[in-house]
Structure 1
Amino acid sequence: MLPMIFALTTFVTFIIMEGVTWCTHRFIMHGLLWNLHEDHHQPHDNFFEKNDIFFIIFSIPSILLFYFGVDGGLNILFFIGLGILLYGIAYFLVHDVLIHRRFKWFDKTSNPYLKGLRKGHKMHHKHLGKEHGECFGMLYVPLKYFKAHQTV
């Protein structure tokens, strides 16, 4: 029974992370910490951005949960940290590899879901400032971006 609870905890944490990502992106990255996120919305030729510091910031809770989740044997905190880590890996693959193509691993896709994700994120980036944004999530974007005949 315990392995099932741990697996469910990891899965639920992964799902909850989409909401956490939306809120963090909308209210922190496009709010209080816009100065770190702003370069991500501006055209540039640099491989690294100030925005990349969020990778470190967002990894800290997972690292701490792993640390405290092995205290005296595996406990639920470890699996919450695992859910956060798995979401972070998915975020990297979708955001940095598929959408922004910082790495040319999955350069060509015909998958309608992945094309919809790309379209939604492009709509997010059409706004160069922190106001008037849309599509702040990563794995969920509104259905309008998945309609047939939309170019990506």
Structure 2
Amino acid sequence: MSAVVASLIVLATVAVMEFVAWSSHKYVMHGFGWAWHRDHHEPHDNLLEKNDLFALVGAGMSISMFALGSPLVLGESAWAPATWIGLGILVYGVIYTLIHDGLVHQRYFRWVPKRGYAKRLVQAHKLHHATIGKEGGVSFGFVVARDPAVLKRELREQRQAGIAVLREAVED
């Protein structure tokens, strides 16, 4: 497999992982996986959260793909693209860790962006945390951040419809 094809597979996987992360965040973490995700939405002083177990799920996906692509594991049955898919999942995990855990929740470093895309990411995720409980909510992605003004409007509409309970008033 050429380096160009391998690189394209890695980049495509990183892009697809944002959709995988968005849908698993919305339907798993805020659904049947709420028992693991709940502490992420509640104040605490713990170094680790149950929510961090989802990182192990992502790591398992990446490791599984590396194994499927490895001739050392599967011999001639190995599927070469799986290695590059595994690398793409790993790259997305690193991006997620730096952006979500590092920048947004400041678990690893302290920097509050004043403008640009980084500020938009932080605003969008703070709006995600504006709801109490698992119902309703906005901005379930981790790398793609929609316009905060649109997200605020959606939160107000959810509150008015009785779908979401907000921690505080969402200002214009």
CA deviations on 1:65-88 (whole Å, 9 max, x unpaired) are 111212247811000000000000
Q: Which structure 1 residue ranges, 5 or more long, are not aligned?
A: 147-152
Greater alpha carbon shift after TM alignment, 31-40 vs 73-82 = 73-82
Shift of residue 110 of structure 1?
Answer: 3.6
- Which residue of the other structure, out of 94, 97, 106, is the alignment partner of 2:99? 94
Superposition TM-score, scaled by structure 2 size:
0.79
CA RMSD across the alignment: 1.8
- Aligned sequence identity (%): 40
Taking the TM superposition and a 5 Å limit, the aligned residue runs for 1:57-68 are 57-68=57-68
State the secondary structure of the residue aligned to 2:132.
coil
Question: What is the distance in 1 between the residues matched to 2:12 and 2:149?
Answer: 25
Where do 4+ consecutive residues of structure 1 move more than 2 Å? 108-111, 143-146
Provide the residue aligned with 2:163 in structure 1: none
Hey, what does 1:56 align to over in structure 2? 56
Partner secondary structure for residue 103 of structure 1: coil
Matched, 1:84 2:84: no
Cα deviation per residue 1:31-88 (whole Å; 9 max; x = unaligned)? 0110110010001111111111111112111001111212247811000000000000
The number of aligned residues is 145
Contact 2:112 2:119 in 1 (8 A): no
Write out per-residue CA displacement over residues 1-53 of structure 1, whole angstroms, 9 at most, x where no aligned residue: 72111110000000000100000000000001101100100011111111111
Aligned to 1:149: none
| Structure 1 length-normalised TM | 0.89
User: Relative contact order: is structure 1 or structure 2 higher (C-alpha 8 Å, sep ≥ 6)?
Assistant: 1
Larger mean Cα displacement after TM superposition, 67-76 or 134-143: 67-76
